[in-house]
Amino acid sequence: MFNLIVAGPHINNGSSKIWTDRLFEHTDESIKATFRPNGNIDFEGLCRLPTLFMEEGCGNEVAHFGRLSKIEQVGDNLRYHYYFDPNVPPFTNAQVFDLSDDLKIDEWEFSRTHWAVKDVDLSYVLLKGQFSRAPKPSVFQISEKPVNPSLISLMMPFGGFDDVNEALKGAIEAAGWECKRADNFWQNDQIMQDIVELICTSQVVVCDLSGKNPNVFYEAGIAHTLGKEVILITQSIDDVPFDLKPLRCIEYLNNCEGLKKLARDVVERINTIRNKLRL
């Protein structure tokens, strides 16, 4: 599913508003029921969907692919905060119009300010239309699954780091987030594909550089390339390679008190990132 918001013009990392009674126009009744249970709008559910931002028109008007970070009711309007996906360059309404059948967008929706929800895989349709400039590696596949805004992933050596994993996982989940490490599940034949999928679908990636583990360095590089919010941690600042030295890194002691402090510091940083994404 995806949000279609025809309004604008939109600017990156901005906010705008639309009349509440324009929400769910040109939207199937079953979808309306999903996102308006008991008559209340599911703002969090809408924020989990990718979003197509358009101006009115069928020509050279600028359209963007992005996400909603926050929705709030302001009188008779909905104010929505949003950001554009840097991996998808701006395109035109004319290009969207060419894909309107695949996107289930009616022709006259292009000329009316409204907010619809469509039961279509927006990322797939845009990728098929070659709008994405996302990297296309040959040794693994970039996941097409949407980002889970509540998911925090942990990248660390598998051996000898169970205490670190348990301390972080416990604190992160207690703060209301979901937390996974790549060895917690098995979905693909290759473990590398599981790791990449976890990185792709995570809101924040925590990388433990302790011991100069090459796997973690590789995973941190993938996360940075995909534009993820990355939190670096280490038991020794000497384990941080030269290329990562300019980035802030949380140093911790691998003992009871040290792990408690690490957990607090990481959760605090995650909350800071969350607040930044909601601006």
Residues 26 and 123 reside in one and the same domain: yes
Range of the domain at 185: 148-278
Identify the CA nearest to 164 among candidates 60, 96, 259. 259
Whether the Cβ atoms of residue 3 and residue 117 lie closer than 8 Å to each other: yes
Domain count, the chain: 2
- Domain match, 158 and 72 both: no
- Same domain for 165 and 119: no
Ramachandran area for residue 241 (φ above 0: left; ψ -120 to 50: alpha; else beta) = beta
Does 265 reside within a domain? Answer: yes
Model pLDDT for residues 12-29, shown as the tens digit of each residue: 889 999 999 999 999 999
Residue 179: CA atoms inside 13 Å, Cβ hemisphere, count? 21
User: Is 137 inside a domain boundary?
Assistant: no
Burial class from Cβ neighbours inside 10 Å (0-12, 13-18, 19+) for residue 39 reads: exposed
* One domain, residues 83 and 190: no
| Same domain? 124 vs 156 | no
Same domain, residue pair 47 and 117:
yes
- pLDDT the model gives residue 188: 55
Q: State whether 107 and 175 are in the same domain.
A: no
pLDDT at residue 279 is higher than 50 = no
Within a domain: residue 143? no
Structural domain contains residue 192: yes
Residues 105 and 153 in one domain: no
247 CB neighbour count, 10 Å cutoff: 12
Please, what is the end-to-end C-alpha distance for the chain in angstroms?
A: 24
- Domain membership of residue 141 (yes or no) is no
Q: What is the pLDDT of residue 129?
A: 67
In a domain, 206, yes or no: yes
Helix (H, G, I), strand (E, B) or coil at 13: coil
- Residue 228: inside a domain, yes or no? yes
Mean pLDDT to the nearest integer, 177-205: 82
Arithmetic mean of pLDDT, 212-234: 93
How much is the pLDDT for 184?
A: 63
The answer to whether residue 33 scores a pLDDT higher than 70 is yes
Per the domain annotation, does 22 fall within a domain? yes
Task: For residue 49, give both structure tokens.
Answer: 């969907």
Looking up residue 178, the CATH number of its domain turns out to be 3.40.50.450
Judge if 69 and 36 occupy the same domain.
Answer: yes
122 and 19 in a single domain? The answer is yes
pLDDT class for 143, splitting at 50, 70, 90? confident
Question: 182 falls in which pLDDT band (50, 70, 90)?
Answer: confident
- Helix, strand, coil % (nearest 5) of the chain? 40, 25, 35
* 112/38: higher pLDDT: 112
Q: What whole-number distance in Å separates Cα of residue 205 and Cα of residue 208?
A: 10
> Which one of 100, 128, 156 terminates a domain?
128
- The pTM assigned to this predicted structure is 0.57
pLDDT of 7: 94
Residue 129, CB half-sphere, CA atoms under 13 Å: how many?
23
Provide the β-strand partners of residue 202. Answer: 148
Residues 114 and 194 placed together within one structural domain of the fold: no
Q: Which helix (H) or strand (E) holds 46?
A: helix 43-47
Average pLDDT, the chain: 90
Q: What is the DSSP letter of 38?
A: G
Averaged over 245-259, what is the pLDDT?
96
Q: What is the per-residue DSSP string for 109-142?
A: GGGS-EEEEESS-HHHHHHHTT-------SSS--
DSSP reduced 3-state for 18: strand
113 lies in the same domain as 185: no
Q: What is the pLDDT of residue 147?
A: 82
Rounded distance, CA 224 to CA 199, Å? 10
Residue ending a domain, choose from 128, 158, 174: 128
- Arithmetic mean of pLDDT, 99-122: 94
Amino acid 187: pLDDT: 58
Rounded mean pLDDT, 223-234: 92
